[in-house]
Chains A and B, each alone.
Chain A
Amino acid sequence: EAGVTQFPSHSVIEKGQTVTLRCDPISGHDNLYWYRRVMGKEIKFLLHFVKESKQDESGMPNNRFLAERTGGTYSTLKVQPAELEDSGVYFCASSQVPFPGYTEAFFGQGTRLTVV
């Protein structure tokens, strides 16, 4: 069974440009999460989808970040315009039922974003 896949694995963009990250969750997982790890810091929650609906987007840093999950399958996270402080590793995770709640979340390998 395919795990959570993220694309691209790396992205280097200039400040002010736009980048779109993609996450394909495990098939059948209604719950999809985005997290971010800035260098030297903890992994931080960004938002949570249940199917195509945003359950919680309280972790989104600002309105330069836009997440979508059309049709409740894959999700995209767009950063527009990118700033230097957006650099980090963006992880996507999915789970059958909401995580934690005694269930496991499966993570993708992450997209390493560098804004220069």
Chain B
Amino acid sequence: RKEVEQDPGPFNVPEGATVAFNCTYSNSASQSFFWYRQDCRKEPKLLMSVYSSGNEDGRFTAQLNRASQYISLLIRDSKLSDSATYLCVVGGSGGYQKVTFGIGTKLQVIP
């Protein structure tokens, strides 16, 4: 079983749609959770950190479910510019943490 699992997609959705991605992690002691966005042949960029209480930034909402060991990303009112690969990044536990990346979920927003 992979440490961090994501559905690679692609998810093809029409403009204006709501889309949700999940990411499961295997290490129950994981402490830090992030969603990074990567455009084609570009660098990954931080989209959101994911906190226990959940957090929202405009059209984007991230949530953490520790009991079931997954994080989610919800995108409302999808825009063409949201087309990208969304990487789930999970940090370990202990004094020094190493991050583990998911393979990424590809989103294509269609006009």
Nearest residue, chain B, Cβ from A40:
B103
Known contacts A107-B44, A109-B43; decide if A56 and B98 are in contact (CB<8 Å): yes
In the complex the two chains form, is B97's CB within 8 Å of A100's CB?
A: yes
Asked if A107 contacts B97 (CB within 8 A), the reply is: no
Q: Chain A at the B interface: mostly helix, strand, loop or mixed? A: loop
Docked Cα-Cα span, A98 to B97, in Å, equals 8
From known contacts A44-B101, A102-B49, infer whether A56 and B96 are also in contact, taking CB-CB under 8 Å.
Answer: yes
* B98 partner residues in chain A, CB cutoff 8 A: 45, 48, 56, 58-59
Indicate whether A25 reaches chain B with its CB closer than 8 angstroms: no
For residues 49 through 87 of chain B, which have their beta carbon under 8 Å from a beta carbon of chain A? Answer: 49, 87
Q: How far is the CB of B49 from the nearest CB of chain A, in Å?
A: 7
What is the CB-to-nearest-CB distance from B34 to chain A, in angstroms, rounded to a whole number? 7
Would B43 and A4 count as touching, CB distance under 8 A? yes
**Count the A residues whose beta carbon is within 8 Å of the partner chain — how many?**
25
Pairwise interchain contact B4-A101, C-beta atoms closer than 8 A:
no
Set of chain B residues within 8 Å of A108, measured between Cβ atoms: 43
- CA of A99 to CA of B104, assembled, Å: 19
Task: Return chain A residues, CB-CB under 8 Å to B97.
Answer: 98, 100-101
Contacts of B42 in A (CB 8 A): 109
B29 within 8 A of A: no
With a cutoff of 8 Å between Cβ atoms, the chain A residues found around residue B102 in the complex are: 42
A6 CA / B88 CA spacing, docked (Å): 23
What is the chain B residue whose CB lies nearest that of A58? B98
| Best-surrounded residue of A3, A35, A91, A105 (most CB of chain B within 10 A) | A105
Contact between chains at A42 and B34 (CB < 8 Å): no
- B91: which of A43, A91, A100, A110 is its contact (CB, 8 Å)? A100
Interface residues of A (CB under 8 A from B): 3-4, 35, 41-45, 48, 55-56, 58-59, 91, 98-102, 104-105, 107-110
